[in-house]
Chain A
């Protein structure tokens, strides 16, 4: 118990520190003093703009998206009883990507041209619908007297492979400008970093995580096997469908504004699992915090490493996260 609390305090502090560092570093550098002054209303126009209109919404978005993916992965790993499960693996992100690709290529723009603004603004909604279509497909394929964990995973992997093939097919026929746009999107980028998007997804993600927390004990009991879970009164079939929907909704919301950030939903929960006891009351929030930290750090590097060129943050997550992940896995007691 006490150990868990210390772990939490440490990671919350770390998140805050990285948040502050993210405000400081960028094409326009700010000192800690500048930030403090700006927050107190004594900063100049440029500082205010940088913090409130550029960096803060982006940080908020990274934290929200990271949290959503962390919790989504944590739940999915629980109901499939498979540590490799994450929404990307079962095609939730691919569904979003496909719809975005179809949307962009629907009325193809000229070579190299930028996408019209009217098109861009709908992308989150299109992505969301794509994720939900994926979810529905997996559900219809996998549901046979309830969602069997292995069946759910295999159907998801099948759906993912099928959708990826269609995406590739479309991408081959795209104009250069569209293609770049799609490529950035499918590799994950926090492009939707404006207050509108933040305010749109904030309540959804908070509510979904709250529901997950409220029912976390059911996830604990499901870990004892279906039969024992039934014995203590859990309606296993119903609950598994419920958590599957909850998990995919979280992933869908995250994907809608941040594109396809692979691996994060696997990474965060697995690291959390190594740090606290195997109870979802702790695992859910810690997965959220750790995933948020990883995404924030990855974004910091993605933005600044080759500035002004920005690397898709999804790629950065893999570059930064994988070594740490491997280190953790290989150092198991």
Chain B
């Protein structure tokens, strides 16, 4: 297991968004969090990445409690791409990606050759190298998302968490980002964890799916195991029509209707 979450409670003020959650994120796989808006999937992701404080419970990284690891050490192991990071005015693609090397730098020492090699590698891997001297604000949404992924990649972490990386993108760019993540997972053995809304994308690109409802883990497992009508009814209150993909390796949701009795 790369990440193990045990009896985790996350609260905003007095309100426990996640009362008690335990789960495992398998190493070297693509894990997808699905669920309704406000079900706590982003919150859980942020708590795992230590962006949000945990009220109770523990998160273990490779068996070690995360509380015992320093912020900088964690930054070398887990990178998280937030939903809407800020693009500083006038910054170039290369400069932005170079911030991924922050956890490895010491005060005053600039970037060394190795850092530059990694930055170049990260930009090539994500296909943003050709725009390296362009301003980030001049890029399109899809291109920009690739730049952020390059930054996270430059952190050279084993685990990459992404909070809705495909939201606001058109279908082609959504697929492009997901293909990229899959490729990074295969070639670089990066463990990928994302929050995603598009059900079929989760099924197609995910090895491991975690369904959440009202702060609870509803189900967890491979798409084949957990994506069926019963679970989807519980998760989204929808009646789904599923067929099997050509090779029969994963289900496809071709139609869905909202169940009337729920408001």
- Say which residue of B89, B95, B100 sits within 8 Å of A232 (CB atoms): B100
Residues of A182-231 whose CB lies within 8 A of B: 214-215, 217, 220-221, 223-228, 230-231
Chain B residues within an 8 Å CB radius of A231: 49, 51, 75, 78-82, 152, 155
Minimal beta-carbon separation of A139 from chain B (angstroms): 20
Shortest Cβ distance from B102 into A: residue: A232
- Which single member of B73, B78, B86, B102 contacts A234 (CB below 8 Å)? B102
Chain A residues with Cβ below 8 Å from B80 are 227-228, 230-231
User: For the complex, is B72 an interface residue (Cβ under 8 Å from A)?
Assistant: yes
Question: Is B91 a contact of A278 with CB atoms below 8 Å?
Answer: yes
Specify which chain A residues have a CB less than 8 angstroms from the CB of B108 in the assembled complex: 214
Q: Distance (Å) between the CB of B11 and the closest chain A CB?
A: 12
Residues of chain A with a CB closer than 8 A to B102's CB? 217, 221, 232-234
Inter-chain contact A234/B90, CB cutoff 8 Å: no
Neighbouring B residues of A16 by C-beta, 8 Å: none
15 contacts between A and B (CB under 8 A): A220-B99, A224-B88, A225-B82, A228-B80, A228-B81, A228-B82, A228-B85, A228-B151, A231-B79, A231-B81, A232-B103, A234-B71, A273-B89, A277-B95, A278-B91
Most chain B CB within 10 A, of A81, A221, A227, A273, is at A227
B85 and A225 form a contact (CB under 8 A)? yes
Question: Which of A217, A230, A277, A278 is within 8 Å of B49, CB to CB?
Answer: A230
Q: Which residues, 26 to 80 on B, are CB-close (under 8 Å) to A?
A: 46, 49-51, 53, 71-76, 78-80
Q: Does B241 contact A (CB under 8 A)?
A: no
By DSSP majority rule, is chain A's interface helix, strand, loop, or mixed? loop
> Contacts A221-B102, A231-B80, A234-B102: A278 and B88 contacting too (C-beta < 8 A)?
yes
With A and B bound together, what is the CA distance between A201 and B18 in angstroms?
A: 52
Please indicate the chain A residues that have their CB under 8 angstroms from the CB of B81 in the complex: 228, 231
Give A232's nearest chain B residue, CB to CB.
B102
Q: Which residues of A are found within 8 Å of B46, using beta-carbon distances?
A: 227
Minimum CB–CB distance from A73 to chain B (whole Å) comes to 17
Evaluate contact between B85 and A278: CB separation under 8 angstroms.
no
Q: In the complex the two chains form, is A221's CB within 8 Å of B99's CB?
A: yes
Chain A interfacial positions (CB closer than 8 Å to B): 81, 145, 214-215, 217, 220-221, 223-228, 230-235, 273, 277-279
**Given A215-B107, A232-B99, A235-B71, A224 contacting B155 (CB threshold 8 A):** no
Find out whether the CB atom of A227 lies under 8 angstroms from the CB atom of B75.
no
B80, B84, B86, B96 pick with most chain A CB within 10 angstroms: B86
Contacts of B155 in A (CB 8 A): 231-232
CA distance A233 to B100 in the complex (A): 10
Query: Interface size for chain B: under 10, 10 to 19, 20 to 34, or 35 or more residues?
Result: 35 or more
CB < 8 Å: which of B53, B75, B85, B107 contacts A224?
Answer: B85
- Does the CB pair A233–B103 fall under 8 Å? yes
- Which of B72, B73, B86 is in CB contact (< 8 Å) with A225? B86
Specify the chain A residue showing the minimal Cβ separation from B89.
A278
B90 A277 Cβ-Cβ under 8 A: yes
Asked if A278 meets B99 with Cβ closer than 8 Å, knowing A227-B51, A230-B50, the reply is: no
- Indicate whether B245 reaches chain A with its CB closer than 8 angstroms: no
- Tell me whether B22 is interfacial, beta carbon within 8 Å: no
B200, CB-defined interface residue at 8 Å: no
Contact of B86 among A145, A224, A230, A233 (CB under 8 A): A224
| B105 on the A face (CB < 8 A) | yes
A220 to B95, CA, bound (A): 11
Give complex CA distance A223, B84 in Å.
13
In contact, B74 and A223 (Cβ under 8 angstroms): no
The residue in chain B whose Cβ has the minimal distance to the Cβ of A81 is B86
Inter-chain pairs besides A214-B108, A223-B86, 14 sampled, C-beta below 8 Å: A81-B86, A214-B107, A217-B102, A220-B88, A225-B86, A226-B51, A227-B85, A228-B151, A230-B51, A231-B81, A231-B82, A232-B79, A233-B71, A233-B74
The complex places the Cα of A303 from the Cα of B37 at a distance, in Å, of: 64
Contact of A217 among B90, B105, B152 (CB under 8 A): B105
Please, how many angstroms separate the alpha-carbon atoms of A316 and B151 in the complex?
A: 45
| Cα-based distance from A145 to B95 in the complex (angstroms) | 31
Please give, as numbers and ranges, the residues of chain B lying within 8 Å of A234 by CB-CB distance.
Answer: 71, 102
List A contacts of B53 (CB < 8 A).
Answer: 145
> CA of A175 to CA of B155 in the docked complex: distance in angstroms?
64
User: Which B residues lie within 8 Å of A225 (CB)?
Assistant: 82, 84-86
Nearest CB on A from B152, distance (A): 7
A215 to B107, CA, bound (A): 6
Per the bound structure, the CA–CA distance linking A234 and B103 in Å amounts to: 8
Q: Which residues of A are found within 8 Å of B73, using beta-carbon distances?
A: 233
Are B82 and A227 in touch, CB under 8 angstroms? yes
